[in-house]
Amino acid sequence: MDRNTNKDIWLVVVNVFAASRKAGSVWKRAAVMMDQAGLKYKAKFTGGEDNAIAISRKAAAKGYRKFVAVGGDGTVHDVLNGIAEYVYDSECSALSDFTLAVLPVGSGNDWVKSTGVSGDLHDAVGVLAQGYTGLQDVVKVSVLDPCDIDSRPLGVSFMANVGGVGLDARVCEIVNRKKEQGKRGKKLYVSALLYCIRHRVPIRAKVVCDGVEVFSGKYLSIAFGVGKYSGGGMRQTPLAELGDGLLDVTVIPDIPIWTIAKEVPRLFTGTFHKVEVLTQAKCREVLVLPAGEADAEPAEVDGEVIGRAPVRMEVLPEQINVVMKDPR
């Protein structure tokens, strides 16, 4: 099968570790539905020599341009990173040549909420068969050398949804550790959040948006997103839009614990942006610069901890196609 033929086939990446290793059995049901819908596909499974990033990158090199992630937000993140790595290393293709879809299986399933795709498997396959797509932004996140932020990044990741520095990343560290122990559910995120709030240690940093310093001082958390949802339904960037070309930034400063407790419900109601003490911005590039070595907090992207600040987030000039529910 040549490259031109592959571009019309869905490359399905099944994360066998998603949903407490239940993704494989979910995929068996989804495969029947895709057959019934007349969709052409080839399935690849993690757990062997390759992870989802490597599978997606190799498939892109073989001419596949339509990808389905079977798993949660981590699987979406990995598939996107495999595609983006291929695009920017090979320089022979563009992000806009690719289409990304998801059959949600994971515990969070936050990215898919912004696409309007249901968590119900039958409905998700129906949306895939319908074939409606929209464009969404992709963010390049670079972990910088604290001694020279303009030098080659220490690491690079590509973001599909929401990331964070500080409390966000500490929550992700706890949640990911619990997932490795086989635990699942939205309560994981809430309990981890409450734990991190109780044991918070404010640190100092500067936040620079499109070259303008918007915040300097002690903070608890910095969130940046092109999507609205993270952490099992929380909305730190509730006004974000997948394809508006901008990154939404929310800085939670060092505030008393009783104020935090009062405002936490707004994270789940979509009204967090109305909290007056927050610093908020929309931009194409963000720099988070710790005040010192002791202030170098962890950074996470789509729930995956990628290193420690300083970090730079850049909205790429090209967008990727994503399968979403037809708004009509």
- The answer to the question of residue 214 being in a domain is yes
- The answer to the question of residue 43 being in a domain is yes
Confidence at 56, pLDDT banded by 50, 70, 90: very high
Residue 14's domain comprises 3-131
Mean pLDDT of 52-75: 94
Confidence at 303, pLDDT banded by 50, 70, 90: confident
Q: Are residues 263 and 222 in the same domain?
A: yes
pLDDT of residue 197: 74
Q: Are residues 120 and 157 in the same domain?
A: no
Q: How close are the terminal C-alpha atoms of the chain, in Å? A: 37
Q: Which of 101, 131, 161 is the last residue of a domain?
A: 131
- Asked whether 235 and 229 are in contact (CB, 8 A), the reply is yes
CATH at residue 67: 3.40.50.10330
Question: Which tops the pLDDT comparison, 219 or 328?
Answer: 219
Q: Which of 96, 131, 166 is the last residue of a domain?
A: 131
Question: Which tops the pLDDT comparison, 202 or 182?
Answer: 202
- The answer to the question of residue 327 being in a domain is no
Q: Give yes or no for residue 91 having a pLDDT over 50.
A: yes
The residues with which 140 forms a beta bridge, in sequence order, are 158, 314
Mean predicted lDDT score pLDDT of the chain = 89
pLDDT of residue 1: 46
What does the DSSP assignment read for 73-137?
A: HHHHHHHHHHHHHHHHHH-SS-GGG-EEEEEE-SS---GGGGGT--SSHHHHHHHHHHT-EEEE-
- The answer to the question of residue 17 being in a domain is yes
The residues with which 205 forms a beta bridge, in sequence order, are 217, 290
Count of the separate structural domains present in the chain:
2
Q: Are residues 123 and 146 in the same domain?
A: no
CATH at residue 270: 2.60.200.40
Query: Which pLDDT tens digit goes with each residue over 12-33?
Result: 999 877 655 677 788 899 999 9
Nearest to 249 by CA among 311, 203, 291, 193: 311
- Output the pTM of the full model: 0.90
> What single DSSP character describes residue 144?
P
- The answer to the question of residue 258 being in a domain is yes
Q: Are residues 267 and 146 in the same domain?
A: yes
Mean pLDDT of 157-183: 81
